[in-house]
Amino acid sequence: MFTGIVTDVGEVLVVEERAQGLRRLTIGCSYDRGSIALGASIACAGACLTVVAVGAHDGRTAFAAEAAAETLAVTTVGRWKQGTRINLERALKMGEELGGHLVLGHVDGIAEVIAREDLPDMARIALRAPAPLARFIAAKGSVALDGISLTVNAVDADAFSVLVIPHTLAVTTLAATRLGDALNLEVDLMARYAARLMEAPDD
């Protein structure tokens, strides 16, 4: 479980193809090496990946995670290459502050950036969601984009927009987002369950 509050921006250092469609990713970060346990979950651009190795790479902390075929198919992980910068978040611990919203790290699909407007104090980014996910996105609701908890500003059919404050632009990868970019999208868990309950037949 995560909150969508990014705690580091990592860099993909090595991409290795493994057997049975697995891809092993070595990611550099600024976390204390001793604080990363094997088997720990880290949200990498919003996708929850399991740490399979911890070490150092050119003097910096690095961890390795493996992405299976399903993850490669439904997220942007399959597009990562050496040098790709990704938002990172460690798993939420009981008792910690819930600063964003509840994020599972289970990416629902890929949203495409269709417009960006840089304002004096923030940026407005418009995106198009996959059609099956659009019904879960509502104005003033929450979404996670590349692992960042954001409030939906406006919705128009399968398009929606978010306003990004300067702090978020400074500490995440969103500052570099441009027209046509693909971002991992996780819809709000509560919206998904509410929709499911509405679909359930009456007893």
Rounded to 5°, the CA angle 49-163-155 comes to 90
Q: How far, in Å, CA of 134 to CA of 101, rounded? A: 19
Q: How far, in Å, CA of 51 to CA of 37, rounded? A: 7
Which residues are catalytically annotated?
2, 41, 48, 50, 68, 106, 151
Q: How far, in Å, CA of 83 to CA of 146, rounded? A: 16
Q: How far, in Å, CA of 29 to CA of 42, rounded? A: 11
The four Cα atoms 173, 171, 116, 109 give a dihedral, to 10 degrees, of 50
- Token digits for 47? 């996708």
Q: Could you count the other beta carbons within 10 Å of the beta carbon of residue 33?
A: 13
